[in-house]
Amino acid sequence: MFLKDYITDIYKGVKSLLIGMRRTGYYFTHHKEIITQQYPDNREELNLPTRFRGEVILLHDENNEHACTGCTACELACPNGTIKIITKFDVSPEGKKKKALDTFIYHLELCTMCNLCVVACPTDAIVMAQNFEHSVYDRSKLTKKLNKPGSKIREGIE
């Protein structure tokens, strides 16, 4: 029946709008919890969610060793050429040649923080860090070398 549908329509519409207004009215009157962070004021005790992605870093342990084998999986996974891996050949004492990482170049200015390189890494050598204060006066400073000088691959990582 047309008239019945019409009135039910109005009733349902008004009801759902009132439910919404009750919710926002509740937030308006209970003004205690603040979900935004007062950023420059709380720089020391900044509370970022764990999933926040600020930049890619190569993890180094206390012996200045990383887990990157130089396989270039991250370079291939990157959709916009942010990562460039330069490899070299380590010569072991027995005279065997082995591919290893020479320089891990990371173009922060091109990075969209999509996390695909971290997913692609077979040895979990790279992770997303949470530092987001990247502003510099010269864009060439955004091109970073991620492996620390003198670092080498950790034992037992293939």
Partner 1 sequence: MLSFHSITDSIDSWLNHTFSPTVALLLECTIVAIAAIALFATLGLVLVLMERKVAAFMQIRMGPNRVGPKGMFQSLADTIKLVMKEGLTPDGADKFLFNLAPFIVMIVAMLLLAPIGFASGFQIWDINIGVLYISAISSISVIGILMAGWASNNKYSLLGAMRSGAQIVSYELSAGLSILSIVVLSGSLQLSDIVGAQSNGWWIFKGHIPVIISFVIFIIAVTAETNRAPFDLAEAESELTAGFHTEYSGMKFALIFLAEYINIFIVCAIGATLFFGGWMPLHIGNWQSFNHIMDYIPSSLWFFGKTFFLIFVIMWFRWTFPRLRIDQLLQLEWKYLLPISMVNLLLVTVMAIMGWYF
Among 83, 90, 125, 126, which Cα is nearest to 104's?
Answer: 83
Instruction: Please say whether the beta carbons of 100 and 89 come within 8 A.
Output: yes
Contact 114, 104 (CB under 8 A): no
CB of 36 or CB of 135, closer to partner 1:
36
Burial class of residue 132, CB neighbours in 10 A (0-12, 13-18, 19+) = middle
Q: Which of residues 35-54 bind partner 1 (CB under 8 A)?
A: 35-36, 38
Tell me the closest approach of the beta carbon of residue 12 to partner 1, in angstroms.
12
What is the Cβ-side half-sphere exposure of residue 3, based on CA atoms within 13 angstroms? 0
Does 140 sit near partner 1 (CB under 8 A)?
A: no
Q: How far is the CB of 130 from partner 1 (least distance, A)?
A: 22
Q: Give the residue with the Cβ less far from partner 1, 33 or 44.
A: 33
Output 39 or 137, the one with its CB closest to partner 1: 39
Which two structure tokens, joined as six digits, stand for 132? 């987001």
Beta-carbon-side half-sphere exposure of residue 14 (alpha carbons within 13 Å): 6
- Tokens 């990247």 correspond to what residue? 134
Alpha carbons 91 and 129: distance in angstroms, whole number: 33
Nearer to partner 1, 9 or 102 (CB): 9
User: How many binding residues for partner 1 (CB under 8 A)?
Assistant: 15
Site string for partner 1, 8-37 (x = CB under 8 A): --x------x--xx-xxx-xx--x-xxxx-
Smallest gap from residue 49 Cβ to partner 1 (A): 16
Q: For binding to partner 1 (CB under 8 A), which residues are involved?
A: 10, 17, 20-21, 23-25, 27-28, 31, 33-36, 38
